[in-house]
Structure 1
Amino acid sequence: MSTALAAARRRAVEGLLQATPVAVELGERFRAAGHELAVVGGPVRDAVLGRVSADLDFTTDARPEQVRPLLRGWADAVWDVGVAFGTLGARKGEVHVEITTYRAEAYDRTSRKPTVTYGASLEDDLARRDFTVNAMAVTLPDLRFVDPYGGLRDLAAGLLRTPGTPEESFSDDPLRMLRAARFAAQLMFHVEPAVVAAMTAMAERLDIVSAERVRDELSKLLLATAPRRGLALLVDTGLAARFLPELPKLRLEVDEHHRHKDVYEHSLTVLDQAIALEDEDGPDLVLRLAALLHDIGKPKTRRFEPRGGVSFHHHEVVGADMARHRLKALKYPKDVVDDVARLVELHLRFHGYGTGVWTDAAVRRYVRDAGHLLPRLHRLTRSDCTTRNRRKAEALRRAYDSLEVRIAELAEQEELGKVRPDLDGNAIMALLGVPPGPVVGRAYQHLLELRLDRGPLGPESAEEELRRWWAEQQQG
């Protein structure tokens, strides 16, 4: 072993010790009871990379019913996070641990759930891990570094490959094909050609994996450092077509007579630019989903114009419906579905006003329609400019700067985020002498439109306008 790899091993062990001394303490409890224990997988990989995690994964020869009493009296809390799969969870201070019995798991071709069988040794357990960089372990309490499949060497080389053949690994758990793309995005790794070939050949095997597991991997990928790398791999291997077919369909054919920008590359660039605009709160899943999906309505709405142009009329409305349908199918929470679909629907709203001076009414409507999504809409709209024409890009930037200034100016005068009519429903019913019903709703909407157009009217002017509207309604 080279000096560099030996140093990496030492760094991993020392990092684990410094970050989580409770690991050795737990290892001593297991050894005293006659059992083996090792830190395994991501925490070991991250320790080699110099990263510290408060979440530790352990593997052991002890069965769950033997692990539970060893945790009692040591851990502050114990829970059955996945006892059916041989896993127990616990918390000690700020450290969260999951302890899983040595195992091997595989899917059959008709089941969405893995069939779990327990393994006999640490080496057997490491053999069933997804990738070599996750098939390293540190035994406890003796701190022996175990790396039977060259994970340390692959980590140094930035290479993602499987401990055995990729066909065997992906047959055991097809979700690992998505993990390959996710790790490529998270770690900025190259994926071994044999792994890419297996992903391509076995893409249809992903169909047996539950939508929830696919969703979770997609979210982790999108929240990674470089999601474009992972997304491109999913598209190129045909995996994206199995669960997010709208993405590869953005690769529209372009002929010499009907030119338009590459919608697929444009969407990935918008995603990159949206990520660059995120604030200190960190990765924003809703923004990233909206950036990726904002143009998925274009394939359905593309029209070739008589003079050689191409149009995508109302693609934002069509795209919003498509985004809602796809995210529901992937079992995303309702609030995520609603927010992403709304951003897709609104992403062209700014361009509909042109580059002129924004009226107060236009500003109010823009803010009202965006609601709580306004900060995200700002980022999405700015990200959607991918033109190479510097003059055009600068003009768009200045126009949006102007809009944000107008919003800020008007916000100082009015509560833009809480625009309401000057009269509420009770006042409307009292003035018109009508009971609750559709009339009240129409009157309320009329006053709201006036409020958006003119700003605050005041109770007296609002009452006068309401009487005028009511007289017109009765005449009609």
Structure 2
Amino acid sequence: MEQPYLVPRSAHELSRKQISQAALRVLYGLKDAGFQAYLVGGGVRDLLLGREPKDFDVVTDARPEEVRRIFRNARLIGRRFILVHVYFQQEIIEVATFRCGNQQADVEDTLDPDEALDEVEGWADAMVQDENGRLLADNLYGNLEDDIFRRDFTVNALYYNIADFSILDRVGGLEDLRAGRLRVIGEPEVRYREDPVRMLRAIRFAAKLGFRLAPETEAPLQSLGHLLHEVPPARLFDESLKLFLAGHAVESYEWLRQHDLFQYLFPATERALSREHEHFPLILLHKALENTDARIAEGKPVTPAFLFAALLWEPVRLEADTLVQQGMPEAVALQQAASQVVQEQTRHIAIPKRFSVPMREIWDLQSRFQQRRGRRPFSLLAHPRFRAAYDFLLLRVAAGEVAEELGAWWTEFQDASNERKMTLVREAPVAPAPTTPGAEGVEGEPVTRGPRRRRRRTTKRKDVAQP
């Protein structure tokens, strides 16, 4: 008798022609070696939705060392979760062994691709949890049934069997897929406590797929958001890139704020966004996320440095404004505010230096756009971070922070002929003179100092030895 959750090839639309040749080689290689082999996860889900998968993942009953013996182009990866990457020219196929138990963290969120093991012998099968139920380690292998019920969402637990081209749907994933519904496998609160990042994954998949959250999946989000404090900041950095650099940043942002999760990722930004500027909401971040989605849709590059510059700009700007009002020069205030905000942010999301340094350069250059006389515009134009800083300036113009005339001037200047550049510089307004803390003239006007007197250089007289 046919199992009710086994969907034969004649009853579904997924075809081998839609699967990459690299994934097929891995599936058939495992099958021909006598092992079970299934395509699983986002690849199956996206193909059934008519989307192009980002990648293809395979699960099998073969142990990692057995997979490596089958494929000479394979490498063992990870320490918390031992996986196999099978390398082809343009593609990497990830192979995981069936794992056991409902209490397993999601492989794709805990993998460290920089870690590789030459041998797996001696690594004990273990599943360790802390006092809050959060999974710390899991290499406990199981069977196919075990593997199904340890996955996060039903739509990610559809298994395509290369042996007979059927789809195994043990948890109602196909029904949820048709209904546009995202549902956690098992008890949502228990699953979120095991791995709090699952709450962010729920937001990410809902935004990416345009699905709604099942009521029982959605209900615990606001009350359990504090569990994200237990997640390592480096892991939250990776998850933030998946949330905001996958083409659905606006939807992810709105879902996060709606469910009070954004505050646990970017607390200073959340505090800043709760304020208004001259009775208008702060809108730069929303425009930046719209711009990010548009660039991804057009196939243009995006950088985490620019993204985080936008995500943290409001608290930096507001803190810098406060420091300026206290008498600090604008450029110094901006640098000090940036240091304070970044220092706080790294306690929640660790931003690698290769992104935090250009992020701060984007901020630092903003005050230099006001200086349009003499050689300064040419110097700024030659700066390696000019283009990113200019794009950020245009965001500030669109948000009403900066006059449109300034953005238009720089737009014309960078593409103008040399003769036109010189004309633009001669006709540009003089930048406001910076105030000197504690040195104000009448009615608070900045004091203009006279020219400095050049000091005479004195040469020390050498003592001459007496005969």
Tell me the TM-score normalized by structure 2.
0.71
- 1:172 and 2:183 aligned: no
Distance in structure 2 (CA, Å) of the matches to 1:25 and 1:362: 59
Alpha-carbon spacing, 1:196–1:326, altered in 2? closer, same or farther (3 Å): farther
One of 369, 373, 379 as aligned partner of 1:359: 373
Q: Secondary structure at the match of 1:291?
A: helix
* 1:474 corresponds to: 457
Distance in structure 2 (CA, Å) of the matches to 1:109 and 1:349: 52
Contact 1:64 1:88 in 2 (8 A): yes
Distance in structure 1 (CA, Å) of the matches to 2:197 and 2:285: 25
Contact 2:39 2:159 in 1 (8 A): yes
One of 384, 402, 419 as aligned partner of 1:372: 384
- Aligned pairs for 1:290-439 (under 5 A) are 290-300=309-319, 316-326=334-344, 328-329=346-347, 330-347=349-366, 349-350=368-369, 352=370, 358-367=372-381, 371-386=383-398, 396=404, 399-409=406-416
* 2:123 corresponds to: none
Deviation at residue 37 of structure 1 after TM alignment: 1.4
Q: CA RMSD in A?
A: 3.9
Contact 1:275 1:288 in 2 (8 A): no
Give ranges in structure 1 of 5+ residues lacking alignment.
Answer: 307-311, 415-468
Deviation at residue 249 of structure 1 after TM alignment: 0.8
Deviation at residue 89 of structure 1 after TM alignment: 1.4
* 1:181 corresponds to: 203
- 1:102 and 2:98 aligned: yes
Alpha-carbon spacing, 1:253–1:400, altered in 2? closer, same or farther (3 Å): closer
- 1:85 and 2:103 aligned: no
Distance in structure 2 (CA, Å) of the matches to 1:269 and 1:132: 34
Q: Residue type matched to 1:405 in 2? A: E
Q: Which moves more between the two structures, 398-407 or 200-209?
A: 398-407
Q: Sequence identity of aligned pairs in percent?
A: 26
Deviation readout 1:386-432 (Å, 9 max, x if unpaired): 458xxx99x71x54233232233476899xxxxxxxxxxxxxxxxxx
Q: Residue type matched to 2:414 in 1? A: I
Q: Residue type matched to 1:401 in 2? A: A
Deviation at residue 337 of structure 1 after TM alignment: 0.4
Alpha-carbon spacing, 1:336–1:21, altered in 2? closer, same or farther (3 Å): closer
Deviation at residue 253 of structure 1 after TM alignment: 4.4
Alpha-carbon spacing, 1:411–1:284, altered in 2? closer, same or farther (3 Å): farther
Distance in structure 2 (CA, Å) of the matches to 1:331 and 1:215: 6
- 1:233 and 2:245 aligned: no
Deviation readout 1:155-207 (Å, 9 max, x if unpaired): 34433221222212212221111212222333333333433322212122222
Give ranges in structure 2 of 5+ residues lacking alignment.
Answer: 1-6, 106-128, 422-451, 460-467
Q: Secondary structure at the match of 2:56?
A: strand
Tell me the TM-score normalized by structure 1.
0.70
Alpha-carbon spacing, 1:62–1:7, altered in 2? closer, same or farther (3 Å): closer
Q: Residue type matched to 1:177 in 2? A: M
Deviation readout 1:407-462 (Å, 9 max, x if unpaired): 33476899xxxxxxxxxxxxxxxxxxxxxxxxxxxxxxxxxxxxxxxxxxxxxxxx
Q: Residue type matched to 2:186 in 1? A: G
* 1:67 corresponds to: 67
Q: Residue type matched to 1:283 in 2? A: V
